Amino acid sequence: MLFSSSCEYGIRALTHLAMHHDEGPCLVREIAEEESIPRHYLAKILQQLASHGLVRSTKGPGGGFALAREPQELMISEIVDILEPGQNRSRCVLGLDECNDEAPCPLHATWSRLRDQFFDQLSRTSLSEMARVLQEKRNGGKKLSHR
């Protein structure tokens, strides 16, 4: 597990919102049920994401949560930056206190390169792409037609 449960749930919930973007706001209960996320935990995560402007909430009939921007404009890295604020991306993969270019651990060069590639990919992966791939997977690998 690379991320905390909160971050994983946040990515899953926002991917769900991207999949249902054209349908209007989604209820926490529905997202939690469909994505197997504890409802109260999800509500707190969505409120946190709303306070940072990634989602908006609407009260009353027809209310719920929706993405604040178009799914193709929201990158996975934005969710990670909000829900993993204390994550030190330069932390040693072996947990050593001193690990840097001058005093590297045995995995320093490899991990640094992989970590940089991983976070670069997150900054280039949009919620619309996540939603498309997940929908294809749920449809048994069949590509979706664009109408």
Angle CA(64)–CA(67)–CA(73) in degrees, nearest 5?
A: 175
**pTM score, two decimals?**
0.85
pLDDT at 88: 62
In the three-class reduction of DSSP (H, G, I as helix; E, B as strand; rest coil), residue 66 is classed as strand
Give me the chain's average pLDDT, please.
Answer: 90
Answer whether residue 147 shows pLDDT above 50: no
CB atoms inside a 10 Å sphere around CB 26: 22
Nearest CA to 73 out of 92, 52, 54, 88 is that of 54
- Tell me the domains of the chain and their CATH numbers: 5-87+127-138 (1.10.10.10)
Answer whether residue 119 shows pLDDT above 60: yes
